[in-house]
Amino acid sequence: MNNYPLQGKVAVVAGATRGAGRGIAIGLGAAGATVYCTGRSVTGKPSDLNRSETIQETAELVSQAGGVGIAVRADHTVPSEVEALFARIREEQNGRLDVLVNNIWGGEKLVEWGKSFWEHSLPSGLLVQERAVKAHMITSYYGAPLMVEAGSGLIIEVTDGIDYRYRGNLFYSLAKISPIHLAEAMASDLKPHGVTALAATPGFLRSEEMLEHFGVAESNWRDAITGGIKDAEHFAQSETPHYIGRGLAALAADPNYAAYSGKVLPSWTLSDMYGIRDVDGARPHWGNYAKKHGFL
């Protein structure tokens, strides 16, 4: 059994600072990949989200997991910075790029829940699109040519949800539906070149910010379930960022991943496909839970 099926492979995780991006970067690293961990938050200079996590920390965790983590600060809404990132990869990796993960988000403080679109701040709503849609397009624009030249590669659009249904806020909904269509459209353009594009989504993600929202840590997260907090019963079905990270690493190591081009693969389906378990041994299935409760 090959414990490092992605050894020798090169990946970029755009938006690897925290949450799903960090989990995916670590998952790829645990499979042996060299992972460029990109984002805006670096040691001593956080992004406007003003959180403590940094891309350097993620890169260190990738290396600790068994891969090679490389931190590169890049604002993926700025074409010149993204172009420079892939120029560096072309030089350092002899043009090799096997996996590109578009996970840029940065809309946590911008979405105004409970407001109709005409009541919402327009600048904030448009900035969500800048970060969660435009940044993905820019990144693929400069990353895809390396894969096309090689005749192989996997582009993963990370989003929230598996379909085109409304997600409760126009700006949020557009930002999360768009990556699904980006994957579908890119898959069509890239198919003649042997390159695959697909979308992926976690379930109820137990990210750093979500843990803070419920006032718990990963070590005692279940305390929130009985604490009388709103939506805590849904939180009981949550998953760590490692769950989708492990699933996508298994997908990237699957020689038949092209069969899923243009599709959306949620963490629970990846778990079913590859027998993935979360770090606590659980196999949460947000799809079944959400269907049972009528919101999927």
Enzyme catalytic residues: 172
Q: Tell me the CA distances in angstroms from 183 to 68, 154, 157, 194, 265, one per residue in order.
A: 27, 11, 6, 15, 11
Q: Is the separation of the CB atoms in 148 and 98 below 8 Å?
A: no
SS3 of residue 279 by DSSP: coil
Number of H helices, E strands in the chain: 11, 7
d(CA 274, CA 63): 24
Other C-beta atoms lying within 10 Å of the C-beta of residue 217: 11
Q: Is the separation of the CB atoms in 98 and 9 below 8 Å?
A: yes
d(CA 102, CA 145): 15
Residue count of the chain, please give it.
296
Q: Is the separation of the CB atoms in 66 and 32 below 8 Å?
A: yes
